[in-house]
Amino acid sequence: MTYTFDLARRVPQKSLPLYQQLTAAGICFAFALGATSCGSGKNSIPGVPTFSVGVVQNNLIASFVASDLNTTVGGSIPIPDLTGATVSMSPYLPTDGGPIKGTLFSFDIDLTALSSSSSADAGLPDGRPLPDVTGGQLPRWSFQIGGATGETIYLYLADEAFAIFVPLPLESNGVTLGSTISATFTDEHGNVVGKIYAIPSVSNGNSSGLLVLLPFPGQSGSSSNPGTLN
Amino acid sequence: MTKLKSLVLGVMIVSMATACGKGAAGKNPVIPGVQGPDVTYVDGNFMMSVVLSQVNLTGGGTIPIPNMPNSSFEISPDLQSAGTLVAVSLSATDIAALTGANLLNPTELPGNRPLPGVASGALPAIAVQVPQWDNMVFYVGPNIFGVFVPVTTGLPAGYGLDADLYNTAGTQVGLIGGYGPDTTGKNAGIVVLIPITGAVANIVNNARKN
């Protein structure tokens, strides 16, 4: 199952088959960040109104829309060392009948390939610990988009969790994110299945970004307290 | 038809990149060997036509689309260029009927790759089996529809390029993407996706009322 959600309103979209190892976690979800975090539905990540995570035919697809970034072209490239995985940027096509506006960033990852590779433990790119992760670190992969001068994307995978960190300036209309905003995802039964974090920059403006953490309950947790979420 | 599959659109990536550099709003990327796609709305049908000028066919035909009785696609010799014409006609009535039904399985691009521009990466879809050709896939979502045409693009495996799609009047109506093969070396092709919004939404909504 997957949901597409707007940070201003919760919009469950459609049902999809879950990857078998992640079924218990129900990691395909969506949420309105503000609505879940404060119940008012007024909070949001500046400039990032839509976020989606889902699993289609064993591929994890995580995407978000930068509403203030408009592009007429885009493309997709393979992620090095991850067979079948791609990262893409393209003009955003709304599925809610809204106007064509914004840019969609998407990660397509073959979960079977990801689970068979390994990497060293690490936290956030600037050294800060991963929030809500015991020890603050998970095995991390990084790859660059756009060559040596492009953006670096970070993937995390352990037996108990999967995460993506995308460096992103979190500001819109002059409003800059001042502190970390987080919200839990729940499945249709209300079980907590993951979290998204809008992480502000420390001082130089280079470390802000979005972190999506998807714990797997199979190893040490339960559906009510999944994976490594504290 | 094997010629069609072996069509070299290798310069597509260069051409699309060139179009990017020009930033020509209201114009589709120029693809050498390909004229179009031209997207129009005529008599209740969305028409998309592409001429593959480097492909020569002696025959052709019109093929129906399952669950879309008033829609079809056609492959035939192009009389003007001596190439091949691929024309897709999607009935607004068929789209209106299908988009409300949600009876089709969510489907990505062939090769399990996400649909460009679509947040969920997948849409309900109908695959049409063409003899001696890979599946052509029609996507029909609640608020978006499109088509995947399997041709060799010349792009490397795993790579894709997307650009805004404009109709013949120069209005942005969606997205066109060219994709290289997947990890199995298959499923290269061109995808066109059109959200049901703005003028397109008016057409489909009118079809629903009728």
Q: What is the pTM of this model?
A: 0.66
User: What does chain B come to in residues?
Assistant: 210
Nearest to B119 among A16, A50, A56 (CB): A50
Contact A197, A211 (CB under 8 A): yes
Total of domains in chain B: 1
Distance (Å, whole) CA B125 – CA B119? 16
Distance (Å, whole) CA A215 – CA A226? 6
Distances (CA, A) of B93 to A122, A225, B40, B70, B123: 54, 48, 16, 8, 19
For the segment A60-108, what is each residue's pLDDT rounded down to a tens digit?
888 888 777 788 888 998 877 678 888 898 999 887 778 888 889 888 8
Q: State yes or no: pLDDT of A37 exceeds 60.
A: no
- Residue A125's closest CA among A229, A209, A215? A209
Nearest to B16 among A16, A73, A76 (CB): A73
pLDDT of residue B160: 92
B201: nearest CA partner in chain A:
A97
Residue to mutate among A64, A72, A92, with most B CBs inside 10 A, is: A72
pLDDT of residue A4: 32
For the segment B5-16, what is each residue's pLDDT rounded down to a tens digit?
333 333 333 334
Domain ranges of chain A: 3-215
B192: nearest CA partner in chain A:
A93
The helix (H) or strand (E) run that includes residue B18 is helix B12-22
Percentages of chain A per state (helix, strand, coil), in multiples of 5: 5, 40, 55
Nearest to A86 among B113, B123, B175 (CB): B113
B25: nearest CA partner in chain A:
A72
Distance (Å, whole) CA B33 – CA B208? 38
Phi-psi category of residue B187: left, alpha or beta, with phi > 0 → left and psi -120 to 50 → alpha = left
pLDDT of residue A124: 92
Residues from chain A contacting residue B25 (CB–CB below 8 Å): 72
For the segment B31-73, what is each residue's pLDDT rounded down to a tens digit?
666 777 788 888 888 888 888 776 676 777 888 888 889 988 8
ipTM given for this complex: 0.72
Residues from chain A contacting residue B20 (CB–CB below 8 Å): 72-73
Could B119 and A63 be called an inter-chain contact, meaning their C-beta atoms sit closer than 8 Å?
yes
> What token pair was written down for A120?
């060293």
Distance (Å, whole) CA B174 – CA A91? 9
Could you tell me which residue, B104 or A42, shows the higher pLDDT?
Answer: B104
Distances (CA, A) of B156 to A222, B6, B152, B179: 43, 14, 10, 8
Could B159 and A75 be called an inter-chain contact, meaning their C-beta atoms sit closer than 8 Å?
yes
Residue to mutate among B118, B123, B172, B192, with most A CBs inside 10 A, is: B118
- A and B: number of Cβ contacts within 8 A: 148
Structural domain that includes position B33: 2-209
Distances (CA, A) of A102 to A3, A218, B96: 19, 37, 26
Q: State yes or no: pLDDT of A38 exceeds 50.
A: no
Residues from chain A contacting residue B180 (CB–CB below 8 Å): none
pLDDT of residue B133: 60
Rounded mean pLDDT for each run of 10 residues along chain B, 210 residues in total:
38 35 57 74 85 72 84 84 83 81 74 89 78 71 81 87 84 88 88 84 79
The helix (H) or strand (E) run that includes residue B71 is strand B68-77
Q: Is B146 exposed, middle or buried (0-12, 13-18, 19+ CB in 10 A)?
A: buried
Contact A92, A106 (CB under 8 A): no
